[in-house]
A and B are shown apart, each in its own frame.
Chain A
Amino acid sequence: GENVEQHPSTLSVQEGDSAVIKCTYSDSASNYFPWYKQELGKRPQLIIDIRSNVGEKKDQRIAVTLNKTAKHFSLHITETQPEDSAVYFCAATVYSSASKIIFGSGTRLSIRP
């Protein structure tokens, strides 16, 4: 089955700097990679996703890159703000009607004022 590894487990950056979170996956059949942001005690919220037919996707300050050959994908947050502080999860799945999503272990991002 699919296995998703995520690094680092914690990340502290100065406000305004960039943050990068990296993930690897094991199953070459996975072709959809969502990223979720979870605040304490709340549900995960989808912030960006990428399919395997593209190498990069950007949405304002957030971007995701994908290297299918290496089975790596990364989340980039630029110009970080205090409200970016949360736990971020990467995930991998097969894009179909009922595929289960496998989550990474999470990264706790803290933004220093």
Chain B
Amino acid sequence: GAVVSQHPSWVICKSGTSVKIECRSLDFQATTMFWYRQFPKQSLMLMATSNEGSKATYEQGVEKDKFLINHASLTLSTLTVTSAHPEDSSFYICSAIRTTNEQFFGPGTRLTVL
């Protein structure tokens, strides 16, 4: 099966700092990746669609200048949370699409902003 990894799996940072999360498709190329945010006991909310070699498409209400997405290669997309605040604390999950429509999810990154 297709494998998607995320790094780091968890991170704790101080308010005002920036945090970068990596999403990698390990055994397939993914032209499209998605970034989700999940607050405790809530559903996965799509933040943005990341396309290799082009700008990400952000969902309504998601600040593009705060959540920077870079999809520089067919196997790597990064999400940078800039000037993180406690309200940004959440579980961030990426997913990647292979040739079929099935999405393969990463294991998630738990971000805690103090």
CB distance from A93 to the nearest CB of B (A): 7
Which of B42, B46, B107 lies in contact with A42, CB distance below 8 A? B107
Interface check B71, CB cutoff 8 A:
no
Given A41-B110, A43-B106, A89-B43, A100:B101 Cβ within 8 A: no
CB distance from B26 to the nearest CB of A (A): 14
Chain B positions 30 through 46: 1 when the CB is less than 8 Å from some CB of chain A, otherwise 0: 01101000000111111
Which of A13-21, A62-70, A75-83, A102-110 participates in binding chain B?
A102-110
Which of B31, B42, B49 lies in contact with A106, CB distance below 8 A? B42
- With a cutoff of 8 Å between Cβ atoms, the chain A residues found around residue B108 in the complex are 41-43
Which of B41, B43, B46, B107 lies in contact with A100, CB distance below 8 A? B46
State the majority secondary structure of interface residues on A. Answer: loop
Q: How far is the CA of A108 from the CA of B91 in the complex (A)?
A: 18
- With a cutoff of 8 Å between Cβ atoms, the chain B residues found around residue A97 in the complex are 31-32, 97, 99, 101
Q: Would you call A100 and B49 a contact (CB within 8 A)?
A: yes
Given A46-B102, A97-B101, A103:B49 Cβ within 8 A: no
CB distance from B76 to the nearest CB of A (A): 17
Output the nearest chain A residue to B103 by Cβ-Cβ distance: A101
Which of B41, B49, B101, B110 lies in contact with A96, CB distance below 8 A? B101
Q: List 24 A-B contacts (CB under 8 A).
A: A32-B101, A34-B102, A41-B91, A41-B110, A43-B105, A43-B107, A45-B105, A46-B102, A89-B43, A95-B101, A96-B101, A98-B31, A98-B49, A98-B51, A98-B97, A100-B34, A100-B46, A100-B49, A101-B46, A102-B46, A103-B43, A104-B43, A105-B43, A106-B43
